[in-house]
Amino acid sequence: MGAAVPHANPLLVGRSFVRRAVGGARLERLKCEGTSLFAVSARAVVLALSILTAGAVCAPVSAQPLYPTQDSDPFYSPPADLGGFAPGDVVRTRRIDTGLYVGTDGWQVAFRSTNSQGQPILGMTTVLMPKGVKNPPLVSYQALINSLGSQCNPSRSLFNGELQDGAGAMLPIGRGWAISMPDYLGPNVAYGAAKLSGMVTLDSVKAVRKVAELGLGSSPVALAGYSGGGMATAWAGALQPEYAPDLKLDAVVAGGIPADLEEMALSLGFAPHPGFGLAFAAAMGLEREYPDRLPISDQLNENGLWFREFTHDACRRFLLFHGAFRSADQLAASKSLMDSPVAHEVLRENSLRYNSAVPTAPTYFWQGRFDELTAFAPVAEVADRYCKAGAPVVFRPFEIAEHMTTAVAGFPDAWNYVESRFRGDPVPSSC
């Protein structure tokens, strides 16, 4: 999943190892007068992954963002004329073997979407159709990605064992619905780039409905997701009236939403944290999406640059395991980034709490009141703002602290809410 850990010698001294370990960072040089000691223990995996720095710590010169290894399949390559396509236009399609997903037929659709700078990008989504069902409703399910590698995207992770909520994503198939799972972090796997994920999600739905072989052109549409997938889903619902006004959404259901990235970053601080791996990945993902505004790699010390290289293709479980109880204090050469007004601007631009857009589609949010990963208050504030603006919203709190337990508790009612919208029942509201 991630870059290999150098282990040829038990002790590696000097800067040559640093140059190899962070070669992907395209560093010209490291200005440092001290000596770095890298200890690798065969007896403990954690020690094998730890870098102990002795002597002076120095920052690299102009470290550029480190992007994921691109998929070698030409299906993922953008055409030279991509800019000539409109957002949501189909670029290419192919039939796929759905493997263990019994009772389904599968397609993959490449389409034109837009990044946070308004530039064209190639999007990708995977569609599973229930066998024997004609013109089924369509659910765009934004899966848990929370990763940095291209193999972690649903178009790959559905079939390589990395998708954490693959079983849950199949529930719509059991109801006779088609399901589309977009690679909503874009071709650079820009984890944390919430606005991007919303635009890619909307364009994926538009593209899927244009594929004649699927027969979904007039199907009702719902968006669904939890945690990172809930963030993409909620952003897509908020952006739809302006970004995709020609696309009618019948339901938007999202839970466990990270609605305030700025608050999350500030609360993390510089102390060791069990979820640090995902926080670090989000920082790297945002740098990929905003390289000119968030030069985070310039703030990393040798430890940080090594860890960046080690994780730049990593998926969620790898990031959580190897990032547990690390800290920004260990990896940063400077603490000045969070003092940057530009950094705060980017975080707020990707926080639903600070986005003024209001959805018009029927919306269902659920959130754990004591969730230790995604705070309750920002989501409650967003739901209240939507209510005051006249949006049809149901907001359901759960008296639960554990993040994924809330997903299990909330999805049954969320799917029932979607089914009710597909039937055309009156839209409820908790406002």
CATH number at 329 reads: 1.10.260.130
**CB-count exposure of residue 80 (10 Å: 0-12, 13-18, 19+):** exposed
pLDDT of residue 337: 65
pLDDT of residue 266: 85
Same domain for 233 and 367? yes
Same domain for 118 and 240? yes
By residue range, what is the domain housing residue 327? 11-62+261-347
Same domain for 93 and 214? yes
- Three-class SS state of 114: strand
pLDDT of residue 107: 98
Asked whether residue 177 is assigned to any structural domain, the reply reads yes
Same domain for 286 and 358? no
pLDDT of residue 25: 37
pLDDT of residue 137: 98
Asked whether residue 6 is assigned to any structural domain, the reply reads no
Which sign does the torsion angle of CA 223, 87, 348, 332 carry? positive
Same domain for 135 and 211? yes
Asked whether residue 429 is assigned to any structural domain, the reply reads no
pLDDT of residue 41: 29
Mean pLDDT by 10 residues, the chain (431 residues): 34 31 36 31 30 34 82 97 98 94 95 97 97 95 95 95 81 94 98 98 98 96 96 98 98 97 85 89 97 92 95 95 92 78 94 97 97 93 98 97 93 96 97 94
Structural domain count of the chain: 2
pLDDT of residue 205: 98
Same domain for 129 and 272? no
pLDDT of residue 42: 30
pLDDT of residue 168: 74
Per-residue tokens: 151: 């193999």
Rg (CA), the chain: 22
Task: Please give the Cα distance from 224 to 169 (Å, whole number).
Answer: 9
Same domain for 34 and 123? no
Identify the CATH number of the domain in which residue 254 sits.
Answer: 3.40.50.1820
